[in-house]
Amino acid sequence: MICLLIIIGCDKKAERSKEVPASEKAEIPMGEIIDLSHSFSEETIYWVTAKEFEMEEVAKGITDKGFYYAANNFATAEHGGTHIDAPIHFAENGQTVDEIPLSNLIGDAIKIDVSENAIANPDYLISIEDIKTWEEENGKIKVGSIILLETGFSKLYPDKLKYLGTEERGEEAVKKLHFPGLAPEAAKWLVKNRNIHAIGIDTPSIDYGQSQDFESHITLLSKNIPAFENLTNLDKLPSKDFKVIALPMKIKGGSGAPLRIVAIIN
């Protein structure tokens, strides 16, 4: 009887395992939790051509039945505030938000700090040399890593003029954007030489503000490497030995989505 129960239990466990695809499984780490997300509000910074965050109060107060009730409606673009760029954002056959494997959004992470140079130069391009310098000090970037790029710009949020380089909105404002990003050649180097799962930055875009062709987006997203943008609190992280959990709103067919991202220090 005991043997039979063990066999049945194993069979049920195997059945449950088959029900959940491997791409949707990820080990949840434990440790000190650091929130890397900005809150969403009327202060949230969006791309200059995107719909900004709006919240409408539906109810707030004591009902006629005597209990408290609050509810709101909100509307917003996919790309704004702390959010994810799904591969399809710049790659025709790339994964949509709901198709990104959880194993690419949860895992070991590193931080490359270029804030000393980036704060002094809003058009700073994070280079191959910056990546190699990190590796000289910390060792080769491990397969499957999530890379976070610290420019120090999150300290300027939500001041649009300082954070974006302009307070203007619309197509003409794109030319006036100034903030650091990943150099196109560095993105290509990472794709060719390091098998990473995702990348994030504490600026509005993985490409720097003056980019007109978004080469870094195209290079990374074409390889199904999602990007996390408008991160914060990267200064609270070590250079390595921490994990990231980056869970976007699961929008079917979405090119991006609001993101709640945390780091867990081992």
Does any domain span residue 15?
Answer: no
Specify the DSSP class assigned to residue 80: B
Q: Is there a domain that residue 68 lies in?
A: no
pLDDT-based confidence at residue 266 (cuts at 50, 70, 90):
confident
- Residue where the block lists tokens 């466990």: 13
CATH number at residue 89: 3.50.30.50
**What is the model's pLDDT at position 81?**
98
Gap between the Cα atoms of 93 and 101, Å rounded: 15
Number of domains the chain contains: 1
C-beta of residue 91 within 8 angstroms of C-beta of residue 221:
yes
In a domain, 175, yes or no: yes
Residue 97 lies in a domain: yes
199 CB contacts (<8 Å, ≥6 apart)?
146, 147, 148, 149, 182, 190, 206, 220, 225, 226, 227, 228
- Residue 231: which domain range? 22-46+78-265
Q: How many CA atoms lie within 13 A of 198 on its CB side?
A: 30
User: Could you give the percent of the chain with pLDDT greater than 90?
Assistant: 88
Is residue 66, in this structure, part of any structural domain at all?
no
φ and ψ at 140, to 5 degrees? -60, 140
Domain-embedded: residue 70: no
Is the residue at 257 inside a domain? yes
Residue 163 lies in a domain: yes
Confidence check: pLDDT of 60 > 80: yes
Please name the residues in contact with 255: beta carbons below 8 A apart, sequence gap of 6 or more: 78, 79, 85, 86, 88, 89, 96, 97
Query: Which residue has tokens 């990348």?
Result: 199
Report the run of H or E that residue 265 belongs to, with start and end.
strand 256-265
**Distance between CA 156 and CA 100 in Å, rounded?**
30
pLDDT by residue (tens digit) across 120-164? 999 999 999 999 999 999 999 999 999 999 999 999 999 999 999
- CA dihedral for 14, 244, 157, 175, sign (positive or negative): negative
pTM of the model: 0.89
